[in-house]
């Protein structure tokens, strides 16, 4: 019997032939690469929400919308009030701003030589502008008035929609009580009275304290900076006392009893008087987009 002895080189050659004769099997990773045609995912940057303005920053944006008014008899001040710039227009003679206030605050029927000025306060300086009433509502149902102020270049407030009016909303009231420079008070929307037929708000209350002369002031949302309502008045309690056998009394504003005309009432008033254009909105759009600016703004 003849025997063959394979050395190490022959053994390696034999194993190589056996490997090539078998069917080739691709690695699992290679097969997956051939069958998977999906595009690789691309990481997209996530945009961070815009930071909310601080209370101070929001108030600084609200302040330029507000003015104070003085009703004159000749050159003597008879009464004072507050107001909010709601729109403006550019004319060949210069800018014109329109101020919302209360009708009862600009009633001139008992004055022989009436006059009206709008006063803008900026730190230690104040500027007066002659003004005229161009639209007047009937008190008490529509205690609103629109005042035209030629030469006043002032930023208009943005009027909130009905949907943006919510109880518990943090607010700031900007007004000029007792005829002095603009002052602020804070609180929240404490009550909303809704009209059952129109389903729109007809009265708003706030617990923010105000004083005499704050009528016509603006109630602004601290979150959006938009105008929610115009102060119409407040309920008072009469406090009496005696000194040296003489009786005295004075009225004290009742907390939570400051009531105001909401945006829906403002829109209705402007639409009825032909001034809807100041809001840049369609007539009667009480729930439409708020504060749309016209080209003149």
- Based on the structure, what is the number of domains in the chain? 1
Residue 9 lies in a domain: no
Q: Exposure pattern of 259-290 as b/e (b: 16+ CB <10 Å)?
A: bbbbbbbbbbbbbebebbebbbbeeeebeeeb
Written as tens digits, the pLDDT of the chain (297 aa) is: 444 444 545 544 444 544 444 445 545 444 454 455 555 565 666 666 667 788 899 999 999 999 999 999 988 999 999 999 999 999 999 999 999 999 999 988 888 999 999 999 888 889 999 999 999 999 989 999 999 999 998 999 999 999 999 999 999 999 998 888 899 999 999 999 999 999 999 999 999 988 788 899 999 999 999 999 999 986 555 667 677 777 766 555 555 578 999 999 999 999 999 999 999 864 444 443 333 333 332
Residue-number span of the structural domain to which 97 is assigned = 55-279
Which residues does 244 contact at the CB level (< 8 Å), separation at least 6? none
Instruction: Answer positive or negative: Cα dihedral of 279, 281, 282, 286.
Output: negative
Report the percent of the chain where pLDDT is more than 90.
56
pLDDT for residue 250:
54
Using alpha carbons, list the distances in angstroms from residue 96 to 87, 156, 172: 9, 11, 26
Q: pLDDT at position 128, please?
A: 95
| Per-residue pLDDT at 11 | 45
Query: Would you state the pLDDT for residue 289?
Result: 37
In a domain, 289, yes or no: no
Q: Does residue 222 sit within a domain? A: yes
Looking at residue 238, its pLDDT comes to: 61
pLDDT of residue 254: 54
Q: What pLDDT score was predicted for residue 286?
A: 40
| Among 273, 278, 276, 271, residue whose Cα is nearest residue 293 | 278
Confidence (pLDDT) at 52: 79
**Which pLDDT score is estimated for 224?**
95
The pTM is what? 0.74
94 has which bridge partners? 91
Within a domain: 205: yes
Query: Do the domain assignments include residue 133?
Result: yes
**Residues in the chain, how many?**
297
Structure tokens at 206: 């706030």
Residue 22 lies in a domain: no
Q: Report yes or no on 238 lying in a domain.
A: yes
Is residue 216 in a domain?
yes
Tell me, what CATH number does 205's domain have?
2.40.10.120
pLDDT at position 244 is 73
């Amino acid at each position: 019997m003849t025997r063959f002895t394979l050395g190490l080189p022959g053994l390696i050659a034999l194993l190589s032939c056996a490997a090539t004769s078998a069917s080739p099997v691709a690695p699992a990773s290679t097969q997956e690469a051939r069958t998977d045609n999906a595009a690789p995912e691309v990481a997209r940057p996530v945009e961070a929400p815009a930071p909310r303005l601080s209370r101070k920053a929001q108030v600084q944006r609200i302040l330029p919308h507000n003015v104070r008014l003085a009703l004159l008899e000749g050159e003597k001040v008879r009464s004072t009030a507050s107001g909010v710039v709601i729109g403006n227009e550019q004319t060949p003679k210069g800018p014109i701003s329109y101020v919302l206030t209360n009708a009862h605050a600009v009633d001139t029927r008992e004055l022989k030589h009436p006059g009206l000025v709008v006063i803008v306060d900026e730190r230690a300086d104040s500027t007066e502008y002659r003004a005229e009433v161009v639209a007047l509502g009937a008190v008490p149902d529509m205690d609103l008035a629109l005042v035209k102020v030629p030469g006043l270049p002032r930023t208009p407030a943005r009027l909130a929609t009905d949907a943006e009016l919510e109880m518990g909303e943090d607010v700031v009231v900007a007004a000029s009580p007792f005829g002095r420079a603009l002052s602020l008070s804070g609180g929240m929307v404490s009550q909303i009275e809704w009209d059952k037929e129109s389903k729109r708000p007809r009265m708003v209350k706030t617990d923010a304290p105000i004083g005499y002369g704050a009528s016509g002031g603006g109630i602004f949302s601290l979150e959006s900076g938009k105008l929610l309502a115009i102060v119409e008045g407040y309920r008072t309690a009469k406090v009496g006392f005696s000194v040296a056998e003489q009786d005295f009394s004075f009225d004290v504003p009742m907390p939570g009893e400051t009531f105001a005309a909401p945006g829906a009432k403002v829109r209705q008033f402007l639409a009825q008087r032909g001034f809807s254009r100041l809001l840049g909105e369609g007539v009667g759009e009480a729930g439409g987009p708020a504060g749309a600016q016209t080209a003149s703004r």
